[in-house]
């Protein structure tokens, strides 16, 4: 069973409340856990960036649901590739909102997220997307 990761960016359809974000996250955890899908979801400037990792058929199935979710649009895949190991094995789906202090703490990365995630930039530099997902998976929102 090939292990893959898929990274996409999208734009939230409206300014989502904390409750609305909680709802997305609880559906993610509920569905990903039994499918052994792990990953990270970032929310910044009204945009999402998410990595899903797991067996290819499971990732494809969950992604096809996500793609059609009306809570976001302009869903654009940055990369989908085979990986040797998981980077987010501790989380069925970790969620992290990027806030002002993240810009101060990581000024080098700030241009990539301070006004949301730009699909073209991320597509040109998929390594940046993965590095940011990994970086923010290790730090707390405060
Ligand atoms: C940005 C975003 C990320 C999401 N991530 C996941 C996810 O990782 N796993 C998942 O099952 N659903 C995710 N969802 C929700 C799905 O689109 C869909 O609503 C959900 O899978 C339906 O689950 P249910 O049939 O159990 O209610 C996400 C939705 C959005 C808008």
Name the residue ranges covered by the structural domains of the chain: 3-137
92 lines ligand 1 (CB under 6 A): no
Mutation choice for ligand 1 from 6, 21, 28, 63, CB with most ligand atoms inside 8 A = 28
**19 Cα to the center of ligand 1, angstroms:** 14
Report which protein residue has its CA nearest ligand 1's atom 31: 71
Q: Note if the pTM is more than 0.75.
A: yes
Who's near 46: CB < 8 A, 6+ residues apart? 11, 12, 15, 116
Who's near 76: CB < 8 A, 6+ residues apart? 8, 9, 10, 119, 123
Q: What is the DSSP letter of 98?
A: -
3-137: in CATH 3.20.20.140: no
Report which protein residue has its CA nearest ligand 1's atom 17: 66
Report which protein residue has its CA nearest ligand 1's atom 1: 48
pLDDT at residue 142, rounded to an integer: 64
40 lines ligand 1 (CB under 6 A): no
Q: Which segments in the chain show pLDDT lower than 50? A: none
Could you read off the pLDDT of 20-51 as tens digits, one per residue? Answer: 999 999 999 999 999 999 999 999 999 999 99
């Amino acid at each position: 069973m090939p292990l893959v990761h898929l990274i996409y960016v999208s734009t939230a359809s409206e300014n989502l409340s904390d409750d609305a974000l909680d709802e997305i996250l609880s559906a993610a955890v509920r569905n990903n856990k039994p499918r052994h899908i792990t990953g990270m979801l970032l929310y910044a400037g009204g945009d999402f960036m998410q990595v899903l990792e797991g067996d290819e058929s499971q990732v494809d199935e969950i992604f096809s649901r996500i793609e059609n979710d009306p809570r976001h649009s302009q869903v654009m895949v940055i990369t989908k590739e085979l990986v040797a190991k998981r980077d987010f094995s501790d989380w069925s789906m970790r969620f992290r909102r990027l806030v002002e202090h993240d810009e101060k703490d990581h000024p080098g990365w700030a241009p990539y997220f301070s006004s949301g995630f730009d699909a073209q930039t991320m597509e040109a530099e998929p390594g940046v997307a993965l590095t940011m997902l990994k970086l923010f998976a290790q730090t707390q929102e405060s």
